[in-house]
Structure 1
């Protein structure tokens, strides 16, 4: 009978350990016991960077729209079945912007006030680039300079955005490389990774030493069998020993190191989150719940011993080949409501100036309609939000909204005029990466004109 119990426990151990490896999230060298001492240092110089990834490729042309004049007329002519009525657009009047008057999609009513209050900025026509490229160099799809691999492929372009290396394969992402540089300086002794995801695995947060810590919207992932295995506390204790005791076999030893790390991390996170609120009310949506957990982890930063935190959340359903008007309305409503709630939560927690949120997506979409939707594009528009953001402005070059315009690669798919590298570099500089270390985070940054697009104000 003892043998049967031991066999069952071993199978449970192997199954649980396979799951735990994704949630361990702390480099081996981290010392969990030092977290308490480090927490005393976490109050002052704290910053958090939050990526909201819009999976599928958001249709930027209906997200930010010329609301009058020649720009609106060209927009309407390019997508007669998809164009939003001008009267429904939410007016924004960016400082220093002299182009066609702009409006936001009507579902973004929750963030329109934040834009007007200078808490949100618009990053225009940003996308993956191997090198700067003009329409002439694009050469009607026969480019005379290097371009990102597999343009239009969801998986490849998601990877290009998240690695910052669109011209070659990479096993690390630009935030993971940031973590490699900064975790030791800012989060020394913390038992939790500087990079945390509430949306599963992503390559953006993968580093050489940085291992993303994966949370659920309810908090840390717990191995229930450690307390009671088949109703037996003795069995639970045996399971814990099986998963954590030292082993002579290298594979078993490494597996138990991962399991031990995950168990310790869960205990630390659960204790830190105990009684911690998010600082506000969030919508009961997938994205709302993810950002609520992010807010709670920010509130728990002292107990976690973290002065720098990076978070990844994701909202799916942006592949609008069909039914764009209905589906995008729902997605942007969820996005806008969740972003507004998150900003208000950071304000309530007193950290609005220390938290910067930015959107990213596979790519933009073509201006030309296909009937009821739009097809894959390239460049697109994105939002940056936070108390430190120089908002109510348009950064980069807002494109001519017209088929066959100066940035049209075909069908109204925009050739990006700002690279992901420049977008990410500005965020990285604000977060604490020095100018000299930017090439470590973004190896291609030297190919582009700017390391600071200005939307984070004056950077040291």
Structure 2
């Protein structure tokens, strides 16, 4: 399926206690976290009707919207607005003196957009941060324009109401562990410094760009090297250094991190040693209180995939969001509903001892099989077997592009096991998925059409 980018099996990294899944050879940083029980891998994360535009799919992930839905607020902005109503009026104050959220970059992500304003602040880049902390002004030209630029920067600094609290927090930490000499490493070093310095900011966002590997994903002479390998090494090494630094600063129990990307890559490779925009992809959750392990089935790859084939999604990305809010921030069901908009399956990615209680959204049936079909592969007619709980359910057939091709059932069904006969003769040959929804319960199973 991907001879131009496939990795030699002998180069892959083993995971402790796992026989059927391995890591890219550049992800040694993640391998050590997994073996220490501090990394959860959630496979096949996506959403229905995958959009392949960078801009639109990023918007969907950042706002928590459906494909056909436009939201003006971000999922984290809604959460922070629930916790800190009427922001930015009367903030900062004596009770909440610190930024609600900080993003390392140049623009505040739409994820932090609240109903009135952005719910966080931007720390421009590591260079900007160290100039702020050390009271250093960037040079300007000795011209009239330079004088004006100096004045604008002065006004900007004075108007940054949170600048002083950031400086105060940073000044408390004078020694940290070593980090890779990369932009991501520098960003995470700043995050660790601010947390250890006592800043009560609850959310931080950092970025690593370059994963749009349409070409040069691998080297023709060595598939373990190339742009993708370099990016994964940057990610894994920076996160490993971050975790080590948090431990040295004795704050490792206060931090959980997660990776987010707007989509995965296609199954087949292209003619440029790369891959094009795809659908489902893994998410990595790391931290001391993470329930380490792998969630999700290994992706099913068709025998003869074509350019339109994609990995089917098993977990909606909003399930991961809901699980982090519920398990880490101990969010109640009403706040969760207001933030995520719809009920989603709660995944066991955070140790339940963190909040001490079980969320009412928790999926108690994750280990059960809720939908299957036989025979499989199917030629014409197949039997679909599914379970009900007395609540409304929905079963959709999803094609390899993530599109709903048919809704088999959408009705309230009684508790117990049910069967229906379904005619699949109108489907073209290929890989499809049965997606089962029952409140917060969601499962997906592959269906092969011959």
Q: TM-score band (shorter)?
A: 0.5 to 0.7
Aligned to 1:310: 203
Query: Could you tell me which of 75, 90, 110 is aligned with 2:13?
Result: 90
Aligned to 1:213: 121
Q: Write the deviation string for residues 270-301 of structure 1: whole angstroms up to 9, x where unpaired.
A: 12212424631111101101111111111122
Any idea what SS the aligned residue of 1:368 has? coil
Q: How many corresponding residue pairs?
A: 329
Query: Could you tell me which of 33, 36, 40 is aligned with 1:117?
Result: 36
Output the CA distance in 1 between the equivalents of 2:93 and 2:317.
Answer: 27
Output the CA distance in 1 between the equivalents of 2:131 and 2:296.
Answer: 41
Which of the pair is proportionally richer in helix?
1
Q: CA deviation at 1:412?
A: 3.7
Q: Write the deviation string for residues 185-227 of structure 1: whole angstroms up to 9, x where unpaired.
A: 999633332111002321112222553211121427759789x
Any idea what SS the aligned residue of 2:29 has? coil
Aligned to 1:341: 241
Aligned to 1:182: 83
Runs of 5+ unmatched residues, structure 2: 219-225, 358-450
Higher relative contact order (CA 8 A, sep 6+): 1
**Is 1:204 paired with 2:101?**
no
Aligned to 2:333: 435
Output the CA distance in 2 between the equivalents of 1:297 and 1:360.
Answer: 22
Q: 1:380 to 1:182 in 2, by over 3 A?
A: same
Q: 1:212 to 1:456 in 2, by over 3 A?
A: same
Output the CA distance in 2 between the equivalents of 1:101 and 1:426.
Answer: 25
**Is 1:287 paired with 2:287?**
no
- Matches for 1:268-287 after TM superposition, within 5 Å: 268-277=165-174, 279-287=176-184
- Give the RMSD, CA atoms, in angstroms: 3.3
Aligned to 1:329: 229
Q: Write the deviation string for residues 378-425 of structure 1: whole angstroms up to 9, x where unpaired.
A: 11011100000011x111333224456xxx896441221100110100
Q: 1:388 to 1:413 in 2, by over 3 A?
A: same
Output the CA distance in 1 between the equivalents of 2:186 and 2:329.
Answer: 25
Aligned to 1:170: 71
CA contact (8 A) 2:289 2:350 kept: yes
TM-score (norm 1): 0.65
Q: 1:182 to 1:362 in 2, by over 3 A?
A: same
Runs of 5+ unmatched residues, structure 1: 1-77, 130-146, 244-257
Q: 1:277 to 1:163 in 2, by over 3 A?
A: farther
- Matches for 1:31-70 after TM superposition, within 5 Å: none
- Matches for 1:293-304 after TM superposition, within 5 Å: 293-301=190-198, 304=199
Q: CA deviation at 1:182?
A: 2.5
**Is 1:415 paired with 2:315?**
no
Which of the pair is proportionally richer in strand?
2
TM-score (norm 2): 0.66
Q: 1:363 to 1:278 in 2, by over 3 A?
A: farther
- Matches for 1:217-232 after TM superposition, within 5 Å: 217-218=126-127, 219=129, 222=132
Output the CA distance in 2 between the equivalents of 1:329 and 1:183.
Answer: 41
Q: 1:419 to 1:442 in 2, by over 3 A?
A: same
Aligned to 1:319: 212
Aligned to 1:21: none
Query: Could you tell me which of 319, 322, 326 is aligned with 1:425?
Result: 322
Q: CA deviation at 1:101?
A: 1.5
Query: Could you tell me which of 253, 266, 283 is aligned with 1:353?
Result: 253
- Matches for 1:12-161 after TM superposition, within 5 Å: 78-93=1-16, 101-129=20-48, 147=49, 151-161=51-61
Output the CA distance in 2 between the equivalents of 1:432 and 1:277.
Answer: 32
CA contact (8 A) 1:162 1:173 kept: yes
Any idea what SS the aligned residue of 1:211 has? coil
